[in-house]
Copies of this chain bind each other. A is one copy, B any other.
């Protein structure tokens, strides 16, 4: 029997921890690799050239439940998407929980169920994990660290060395939804909005894109720092720049309104279910068509292009025709957004 509340004993390596693992984690995440309950999961990584992709992220979002998602769904999507943008097929996820003593068990259960649903939807397996419990006040409810392994099944991967002037910049849909949805529930900052986080696994979308064209040069999921940070990564230290047309970037009125109210630029707000890609101009239509066939890409559009100069900079062309630099973000706009 699982008690109502997380206690220090749930992280002790003893009987209560084993019960939690069996009754909660194994029940919901069940698969042959996990169910062995060894210290390591043994997984099959048959992959082209024996290369695999390996990524990790900790999640500390506050609040832990937000419109459109929760910290568990977010953690899985974040790791799945990091593997996907490198062209890997996400297969196996390791999940490590840091729980605060006194956390209601129902909260953990709700998050575990959400993770199980997300894993099923994205066709990945949670194969190994860990649980630590810290004394009350030593962490804020719970933190989750997810680590993923992805394999390569063919040569359809992004080729960042081939980015060149003329390439198109494609954004897969409305930007800023995640950051604003989370902020709308932040204590002391609540405002009226029906907005939901875009938090979603994107492996099906990136697969369609890479299958449609062998000229996808670069992909990112623009999370912390938003579109601005991602595009700055493409051009940093390079002999080319990027120009984005503000009117071509899909932004919801509700996000635009909230950003105005809060003094934020939507280009810097985090997304958790979007792709920004650099694609050869010849293949841009082909890629767009493929994206629009995926539920996560129906609103995809060409939002800008790679240009000769200014070197290493991202410019944004405003609706009234001016241009300004979209710099790498310097400070913290939105703490604990993911």
- A residues contacting B by CB (< 8 A) are 7-9, 11-18, 38-47, 49-60, 62, 82-83, 85-86, 88, 92, 94-98, 127-130, 132-135, 137-140, 143, 145, 147-150, 220-221, 223-226, 229, 270, 328-336, 338
Contact of A98 among B52, B130, B143 (CB under 8 A): B143
Query: Least Cβ distance of A48 to chain B in Å?
Result: 11
Query: Least Cβ distance of A110 to chain B in Å?
Result: 21
B55 touches A40 (CB 8 A): yes
A58 touches B13 (CB 8 A): no
Contact of A51 among B13, B42, B147 (CB under 8 A): B42
A94 touches B130 (CB 8 A): no
Residues of chain B contacted by A62 (CB below 8 angstroms): 138
Query: Least Cβ distance of A115 to chain B in Å?
Result: 14
Given A18-B328, A40-B150, A145-B147, 8 more contacts at CB 8 Å? A9-B331, A12-B225, A14-B329, A14-B331, A15-B329, A41-B53, A56-B130, A60-B138
Query: Could you tell me the distance between the alpha carbons of A12 and B268 in the complex, rounded to whole angstroms?
Result: 10
3 nearest CB pairs, A to B: A13-B224, A13-B225, A14-B329
Query: Least Cβ distance of A159 to chain B in Å?
Result: 13
A38 touches B96 (CB 8 A): no
Contacts A14-B225, A96-B57; A39 near B86 (Cβ below 8 A) = yes
Query: Least Cβ distance of A238 to chain B in Å?
Result: 14
B336 touches A134 (CB 8 A): yes
